[in-house]
């Protein structure tokens, strides 16, 4: 009664599935997580092991290590164990719903036994600009200038083709010249003379006409009607002239704005040329950025980059289905699960450093379809030890079409000894001190806003310079000022977009450096800036002035022509208006006496 030819293949297939699940599934999941994580992170992601329990419907990941891409011998994140309790029913529908989880032993900045860097095989595998962190730390930072800027800076090396203001002037020159030519064509294209001549001929005819008796009254009425038509045409033509004047005036103002933008860009070009020789580093903000270190700015950008990564994993906005004939019949289904949903997971870990802080928290509503779940992803962490405390709250809201993220972070009582900062002629580090870090960040769509506040007091900084550097007056002043600081307070204001964030830096070091290096810097930079400005002016002003000449010359001519035409129309319209009044009086008279000459005396003048 049993059809073995049909049953045996099914049993064999089921047996193979069971064997795979028992012997190979853990390894396969481990490989898939490492592969996907490494691709996303751009550096190695390792797992010590994966345990899947079918009996308890649970998954345990052990020994997760996520390499810091900027420091391949360091883990950006290390987790001892991650245990997840799965809902069974959704698994039958190929949905992974984690009812409860536990993430234990979270640590950051731990050392690796081997490098986590991955090889870049081809140039095409390097992410294009805008697809990854800017990695400011790897960019070549202009060095601080010595006391002899003349040997470093030669304004003759500034080339026109390298200046954005020159490119702008050349690009706008053709556009503005074409617009200016059009202004004259517009003014010439309005035929005022013909209509004014027509009005003059009409006025002359009326002046020569005698309006008497009933026939005169009738003739006056007919001429009044013709005059009203002429009056309407003159008014319409006047409106055309006035509209042309308004348009040309507005376009002239916009074109003058182009000249102003070129002038502003010239200033930026001067700054850029000075920066090529490190001269911009003498600015207060330049010195502050050098002390902080571009690596730290790169870390902020990397954090914003992960927002973009997470957004990319969210489902795209679906296009509305095409309209078809017929009727849709919805089949009700009680369950609406996303493909993945971690409802909640407890977190515990310790901070990096010799005196770590233990913390606990929760991660909730991590899902592949936030709109379906209707809840934002939320991470909350709190911890403390003595006078030190840690708090983090991150809300990633992708439930609407416009993504929003907010992050609030507080870390007080940080042990700063040995912290590496930037480079001010030599490496800068914190010898000892305690500090507080506050981060408030928010995004809405592509817009970014927030502040990063760091305060350390008391603090001692170290700045390692070679003997040759210390002999240089400028470097010696910078070194002495930096190492003499007892307090360090830095505020970084974030703005711009996720793909291109901007940073404005304010610091307690500003006044100290300004007074210490002001005298030296002012003389050096003022001379270099004047030379650079003169060179840029010589390359750009000629092309810019061509734009200004086209604007003032041709707009003046066009507006002058339109002014004459408006005046001529106004005079003709006034005369026609008066004739209309006189003709209406004559038309209502039962017996007009005399001609229209007396009434029209003086109306011949334009």
Distance CA 363, CA 343 (A): 8
Asked if the model's pLDDT at residue 392 lies above 90, the reply is yes
pLDDT by residue (tens digit) across 462-493? 988 888 777 777 778 888 888 888 888 899 99
DSSP track, 288-349: HHHHH-HHHHHHHHHHHHHHHHHHHHSPPPPPPPPP-SS---PPP-S----SEEEEEEEEEE
Res 597: pLDDT = 41
Distance CA 260, CA 443 (A): 32
Asked if the model's pLDDT at residue 382 lies above 90, the reply is yes
Stretch 157-166: mean pLDDT: 84
| The two three-digit tokens of residue 319, written as one number | 């296009």
Rounded mean pLDDT of the chain? 78
Stretch 79-88: mean pLDDT: 90
Residue bearing the bigger pLDDT, 430 or 211: 430
Please name the residue that has the structure tokens 């209309």.
Answer: 580
Lowest-pLDDT range of 202-206, 257-261, 332-336, 371-375: 332-336
Q: Are 155 and 531 in contact (CB under 8 A)?
A: yes
3-state SS, residue 576: helix
Distances (CA, A) of 603 to 207, 364, 588: 8, 88, 21
Residue 477: what are its φ and ψ, rounded to 5°?
-65, -45
Please name the residue that has the structure tokens 């003086």.
Answer: 602
Asked if the model's pLDDT at residue 238 lies above 80, the reply is yes
Percent of the chain whose pLDDT exceeds 90: 15
Residue 257: what are its φ and ψ, rounded to 5°?
-65, -30
Work out the pLDDT band at 390, boundaries 50, 70, 90: very high
Asked if the model's pLDDT at residue 125 lies above 60, the reply is no
Q: How many alpha carbons fall within 13 Å on the CB side of residue 66?
A: 15
531-561 b/e (C-beta count within 10 Å ≥ 16 → b): bbbebbeebbbebbebbbebbeebbeebbeb
| The two three-digit tokens of residue 180, written as one number | 């200016």
Q: How many alpha carbons fall within 13 Å on the CB side of residue 540?
A: 30
Asked if the model's pLDDT at residue 117 lies above 50, the reply is yes
Q: What is the pTM of this model?
A: 0.57
Q: Are strands 388-397 and 71-86 parallel, antiparallel or unpaired?
A: unpaired
3-state SS, residue 105: strand
Query: Which of 47-51, 130-134, 301-305, 358-362 reaches the highest mean pLDDT?
Result: 358-362
Residue bearing the bigger pLDDT, 430 or 297: 430
Distances (CA, A) of 562 to 240, 565, 569: 10, 5, 10
Asked if the model's pLDDT at residue 327 lies above 50, the reply is yes
Res 444: pLDDT = 93
Q: Are strands 45-46 and 49-53 parallel, antiparallel or unpaired?
A: unpaired
pLDDT by residue (tens digit) across 577-600? 887 777 777 666 534 344 344 334
DSSP track, 246-271: HHHHHHHHHHHHHHHHHHHHHHHHHH
Residue bearing the bigger pLDDT, 419 or 603: 419
pLDDT by residue (tens digit) across 495-521? 988 888 888 888 888 877 777 766 666
Res 510: pLDDT = 80
């Amino acid at each position: 009664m049993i059809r073995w030819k049909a049953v045996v293949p099914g049993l064999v297939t089921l047996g193979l599935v069971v064997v795979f699940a028992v012997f190979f599934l853990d390894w396969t999941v481990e490989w898939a997580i490492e592969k996907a994580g490494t691709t996303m992170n751009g550096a190695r992601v390792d797992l010590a092991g994966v345990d899947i329990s079918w009996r308890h419907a649970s998954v345990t990941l052990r020994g997760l290590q996520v390499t810091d891409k900027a420091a391949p011998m360091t883990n950006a994140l290390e987790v001892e164990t991650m245990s997840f309790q799965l809902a069974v029913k959704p698994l039958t529908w190929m949905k992974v719903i984690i009812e409860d989880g536990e993430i234990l032993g979270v640590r950051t900045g731990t050392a690796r036994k081997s490098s986590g860097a991955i090889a870049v095989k081809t140039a095409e595998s390097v992410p294009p600009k805008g697809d990854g962190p800017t990695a400011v730390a790897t960019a070549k930072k202009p060095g601080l200038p010595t006391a002899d800027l003349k040997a470093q800076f030669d304004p003759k090396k500034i080339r026109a083709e390298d200046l954005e203001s020159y490119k702008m002037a050349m690009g706008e020159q053709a556009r503005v010249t074409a617009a200016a030519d059009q202004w004259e064509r517009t003014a010439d294209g309005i035929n005022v003379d013909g209509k004014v001549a027509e009005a003059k001929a009409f006025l002359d005819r009326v002046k020569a006409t005698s309006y008497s008796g009933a026939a005169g009254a009738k003739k006056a009425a007919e001429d009044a009607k013709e005059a009203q038509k002429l009056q309407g045409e003159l008014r319409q033509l006047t409106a055309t002239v006035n509209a042309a004047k308004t348009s040309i005036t507005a376009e002239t103002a916009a074109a003058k704005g182009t000249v102003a933008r070129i002038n502003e860009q010239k200033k930026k070009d001067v700054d850029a040329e000075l920066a090529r020789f490190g001269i911009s580093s003498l600015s207060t903000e330049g010195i502050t950025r050098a002390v902080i270190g571009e690596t730290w700015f790169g870390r902020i950008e990397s954090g914003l980059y992960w927002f973009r990564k997470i957004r990319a994993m969210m489902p795209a906005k679906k296009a509305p289905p095409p309209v078809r004939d017929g009727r849709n019949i919805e089949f009700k289904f009680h369950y609406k699960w996303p493909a993945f949903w971690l409802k909640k997971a407890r977190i515990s870990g310790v901070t990096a450093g010799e005196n770590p802080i233990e913390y606990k928290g929760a991660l909730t509503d991590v899902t592949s379809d936030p709109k379906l779940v209707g809840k934002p992803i939320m991470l909350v962490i709190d911890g403390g030890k003595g006078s030190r405390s840690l708090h983090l709250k991150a809300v990633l809201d992708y439930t609407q079409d416009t993504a929003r993220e907010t992050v609030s972070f507080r870390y007080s009582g940080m042990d700063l000894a040995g912290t590496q900062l930037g480079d001010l002629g030599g490496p800068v580090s914190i010898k000892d001190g305690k500090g507080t870090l506050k981060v408030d960040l928010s995004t809405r769509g592509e817009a970014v806003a927030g502040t990063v506040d760091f305060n350390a007091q008391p603090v001692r900084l170290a700045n390692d310079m070679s003997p040759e550097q210390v002999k240089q007056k400028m470097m010696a002043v910078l070194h002495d000022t930096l190492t003499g600081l007892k307090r360090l307070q830095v505020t970084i204001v974030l703005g711009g977009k996720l793909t291109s964030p901007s940073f404005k830096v304010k610091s307690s070091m500003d006044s100290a450096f300004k007074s210490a290096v002001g005298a030296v810097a002012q003389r050096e930079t003022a001379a270099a800036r004047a030379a650079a400005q003169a060179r840029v002016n010589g390359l750009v002003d000629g092309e810019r002035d061509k734009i200004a000449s086209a604007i003032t010359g041709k707009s003046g001519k066009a507006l002058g022509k339109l002014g004459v035409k408006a005046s001529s129309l106004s005079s003709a319209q006034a005369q026609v208006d008066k004739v209309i009044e006189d003709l209406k009086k004559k038309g209502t008279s039962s017996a007009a006496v005399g001609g229209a000459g007396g009434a029209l005396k003086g109306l011949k003048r334009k």
